[in-house]
Amino acid sequence: MYRAGWSRKEIAVEPRGHAMHGYGMWHHRARARRTGLFARALFVEDDAGRALTFCCLDLGYVTYAMRAGACDALRQRLGSTFDEAGFVLTCTHTHSGPGGCTHDVLYNVVTPGFVPAHLEAVIAATVAAVLEARATAAPTELGLTAGEFDEGVRVAWNRSLRAYNRNPEVSPRGETETHLALDRTMHVLTFRRGGEPRALASLFGVHATALGNRLDALDADNKGYAATHAEGVLRESGVSDPVAIFAQATAGDVSPHFHGPGDVAQRRKLRGAAEVAYAEHNGRAQSEHALALLKGRAEEPITGAIDAILSYCDFTAIHVPSRFADGDRDACTSQPCHGVAFFRGTRIDGPGLPALAANIAERIARAVKARRLRGLTRTPPAEQAYMRRTYAAQGAKDVLLEAGPKRMLGAALDDPWIPGLLDPSIAELKRQVRGGAAKESALVPTVLPLQIVVVGQLALVCCPGEFTTIAGQRLVQTVAPELAKRGVRHVLICTYCNDYMGYTTTREEYEEQCYEGGHTIFGQWQLAAFQTRFAALAAELLVPDASRSHDRTTRPTAAPAAELALRSDLPVP
């Protein structure tokens, strides 16, 4: 039996007109609060004193600034008893949560800039929830159950069907079958005392975008409504202070909105109060499914030791073994690039650039690529190497933004040619660049956290960012055989963990260049790079901790303090 505890603390962010994180839209600003946003924490300790802490935030993203700040505070309070490798920080991915919580440049642009008060509130709630979860630990039984949603339950749809159907391992689906082009299985880890459920953690992948970008209130969206409903049911059954976490699995290509014939017209009917009601309905469907699994299926008891491994890896130049690269011996990632498809947005969940502007950007991107590759012999050797590696890695992507050298359509971000009038976000990015706020700072994270945690026969592969259905499936299939050697029978993926850099698709999906492929920033071999690094970590878990040789020291480079100050607490438009 384990010792376990749980807690929930509100994230005390005040809505003062800052843009919310998720849609990246200048107008999507928080001027009110519709629901509370919470940090929910679970703590589990085995007989040997090895512990796992799992904390889920009602936010759109987790950033290194959040994780590092929480780890520093927990070390100060707990000393050597705090194990960073056993601390998972994830989120629900609500698009109606606060922005401005990263030290990197790009995902703060619309906020505008870095908002220290937001980050401080997130860290404070995280630390308070973790400490209380540890303080309330008592003997607890853990159990795992799983079950698919019935096909008739309207809870999730694949939003990038053309890309999904490219994968050779799937049965191609038609436009009326988008609800089947995803993993409809929910896994639930239950915490019981005296045989009664007291807390739970659900893993099911569906975007928290039931609420669109026309609203102006902080809101936990479908995953938050699911948690609130489940906690209410448990409380009515006599449980004091229950905690229900509804975390994400492979949500990358999964929408909470109908996709199929007539989908645009259906989505347009959901406005204002109707969107809120829809988010509540979607969340309730998730909650009711989780609670039904607790009652209707025999749980498998989870028993055995706790273990964890964490390593940070620079994703800008990973050479991928041919076994993960379709036999290609030269497969490699590159500096991060965002494609035109990223700026187009998603048709139902979050449209971006107008079609005309996107089409023009696409033509310019292709012309820039052709001109550069024709003129390679006239460029310096270092630039030649950069262009060859970048275009080889980025493949089918029409590159609009090169985040490494900070160029847009081949020109420097502060170049007068870049039209800030097209979008206020571009104008703000140009202003920060001209003002010296982004000279040395990274636009997006490139040194990423990879983590695997083990509780008895259960393992969680904890990934940064968003994975599509089949990308996550392939990653699990990569590490499961290795972990089986130490008795792990259930390998699950948890996404949006520990940092945020964008999406990960399969190579086949990437070729289609839907939104998700345009936001797979390290190129067509990015999933293969994750498979390479996670396979190595899984192998390390087969030997005692003291004998493991994985990198324990690498961390992202801190943003220059002077530059961070220049883009902090900027005036809200």
Which tokens hold the place of 511?
Answer: 């070729």
85 touches 308 (CB < 8 A): yes
* CA 226 – CA 221 distance, rounded (Å): 9
**Range list of β-strands (E), 406-522:** 407-408, 411-412, 447-455, 458-462, 466-467, 490-494, 503-504
Record the pTM.
0.97
Could you tell me the sign of the dihedral formed by the alpha carbons of 388, 389, 395, 397, in that order? negative
Count CB neighbours of 271 within 10 A.
Answer: 11
Count CB neighbours of 175 within 10 A.
Answer: 10
Residue in 509, 514, 499, 539 with CA at minimum distance from that of residue 64: 499
Residues 6+ apart with CB under 8 A from 407: 401, 413
Count CB neighbours of 431 within 10 A.
Answer: 17
Residues 6+ apart with CB under 8 A from 438: 105, 406, 413, 429, 432, 563, 567
Amino acid 426: pLDDT: 87
Residue showing tokens 């979050």:
350
- Full DSSP string of 425-441: HHHHHHHHHHTTSSSSS
What confidence tens digit (pLDDT) does each residue in 357-391 have?
899 999 999 999 999 999 887 889 999 999 999 99
Which tokens hold the place of 545?
Answer: 């901790």
* CA 263 – CA 230 distance, rounded (Å): 30
What confidence tens digit (pLDDT) does each residue in 74-95 have?
999 999 999 999 999 999 999 9
Residue ranges covered by each domain of the chain: 2-307+463-519
Residue showing tokens 């969107």:
275
Amino acid 404: pLDDT: 94
534 touches 320 (CB < 8 A): no
* CA 143 – CA 562 distance, rounded (Å): 49
Dihedral through CA 125, CA 130, CA 135, CA 139, nearest 10?
140
* CA 566 – CA 108 distance, rounded (Å): 13
* CA 448 – CA 445 distance, rounded (Å): 7
In angstroms, the first-to-last Cα distance of the chain is: 54
What is the Cα Rg of the chain in Å? 23
Query: Percentage helix, strand, coil, to 5, in the chain?
Result: 35, 25, 40
Which tokens hold the place of 332?
Answer: 């490699």
Count CB neighbours of 194 within 10 A.
Answer: 8
143 touches 290 (CB < 8 A): no
Amino acid 419: pLDDT: 74
Amino acid 516: pLDDT: 98
Give the distance, in angstroms, between the CA of residue 279 and the centroid of all CA atoms in the same chain.
20
- Full DSSP string of 5-66: EEEEEE-----SSPBEESS--TT-B--EESS--EEEEEEEE-TTS-EEEEEEESSS---HHH
Amino acid 571: pLDDT: 95
**pLDDT per residue of the chain (573 residues) written in tens, 0 to 9:** 899 999 999 999 999 999 999 999 999 999 999 999 999 999 999 999 999 999 999 999 999 999 999 999 999 999 999 999 999 999 999 999 999 999 999 999 999 999 999 999 999 999 999 999 999 999 999 999 999 999 999 999 999 999 999 999 999 999 999 999 999 999 999 999 999 999 999 999 999 999 999 999 999 999 999 999 999 999 999 999 999 999 999 999 999 999 999 999 999 999 999 999 999 999 999 999 999 999 976 899 999 999 999 999 999 999 999 999 999 999 999 999 999 999 999 999 999 989 998 999 999 999 999 999 998 878 899 999 999 999 999 999 999 999 999 999 999 998 888 777 668 988 999 999 999 999 999 999 999 999 999 999 999 999 999 999 999 999 999 999 999 999 999 999 999 999 999 999 999 999 999 999 999 999 999 999 999 999 999 999 999 999 999 999 999 999 999 999 999 999 999
